[in-house]
Homo-oligomer: A and B are copies of this chain.
Amino acid sequence: MSFEVTILGSGSALPTLRRNPTAQYIACNDRHILIDCGEGTQNQLRKFGVKIQKINHIFISHMHGDHFFGLVGLLSSMHLLGRDNGINIYGPKELEQIIRLQLEIGGAKMNFNLNFTALDNSKPTVIFEDKMIEVHSFPMKHRIPVNGFKIQEKEKEFNIIGEVFKESGLSLMSIPFFKNGEDFVDENGQIHYAENFIMAKKSPKSYAYCSDTAYFEPLIPSIQGVNLLYHEATFIEKLADRAKATFHSTAKDAAIIAQKANVGKLILGHLSARYDSGDEHLKEAQTIFENTIIAEDGMIFQV
């Protein structure tokens, strides 16, 4: 099973030719997720070879345009491409009105359902769950209400070592026990230890997305120990005042959060248009958190 994050846009409110506004595509155990959808996201999806119709969950962090202006265009294209299976959209309650209004005025009769879920912004919440993954939202701190998101694989069953099981001649009844990591007692009362029949389990992976937010320690418990963290770093410390005034983070802020949350790897994104490369961001962050990388549009990360 794979768990991949594709950066569709690594820029901030003012897009540049190098950095599109924010969007990310996450493929996790055959779940296809879009987080945020700035203007031009559908074009980025095409450019980077993502199949638009696979996406079935869209999470919108907040109502600043660089995080949602591309959504109505993407939904229109899904319709024109013949989609008939519904799509699940999670975001601030105002999002539904804006999307439906634009589609209605244009006279579009969509052939698929838009299932909106208005997100709570008061506390960490599980907003989606199935047998393979969980998605959590958690409040962050910005000029308007904003959620971060965490995507987490669920604990998997143990895989059984086929050859060992065959040689043992045990009945199939034993399998559910071993898959749960439990020992099996046969009809003669003999104990068959699970550890002899199962492979080491891969630990579930997790990815967290924090954009946009000021430096905000209360979000740390929600992202504690994730394998991969995307955190906004609109500015560097030279513009710390500007970061504070606009409720954004500096590269240093993001690195401190990554360190305190003990994450595996940190991606910095949402870079202000004033920075051509992210070289200064990287240098600043790595003095605090070594395993850092600057997001570029089109990058793919294995979680």
Contacts and interface: CB of A to CB of B under 8 A. Distances in A.
B73 A105 contact: no
A106 B63 contact: yes
A76 B107 contact: no
A103 to B, nearest CB: 8
Interface in A17-35: 17, 20-21
B70 A39 contact: yes
B107 A98 contact: no
A43 B69 contact: no
B16 A64 contact: no
Contact of A63 (B20, B40, B97, B105): B105
B69 A72 contact: yes
Given A14-B81, A16-B46, A40-B39, A105 B94 contact: yes
A107 B13 contact: no
A102 B98 contact: yes
A79 to B, nearest CB: 9
A77 B43 contact: no
A199 interface: no
A107 B47 contact: no
A153 to B, nearest CB: 33
B94 A98 contact: no
Contact of A106 (B65, B102, B106): B65
A16 B47 CA distance: 9
Nearest to A81: B14
Interface string A68-84: 01101100110011000
Nearest to A273: B80
A65 B72 contact: yes
Contact of A46 (B17, B43, B97): B17
A205 to B, nearest CB: 32
A140 to B, nearest CB: 16
A165 to B, nearest CB: 50
A64 B108 CA distance: 8
A259 interface: no
A148 interface: no
Contacts of A73: 21, 39, 65-66, 69
A118 interface: no
A-B pairs, top 5 by smallest CB distance, nearest first, are: A39-B73, A40-B40, A69-B73, A14-B80, A94-B105
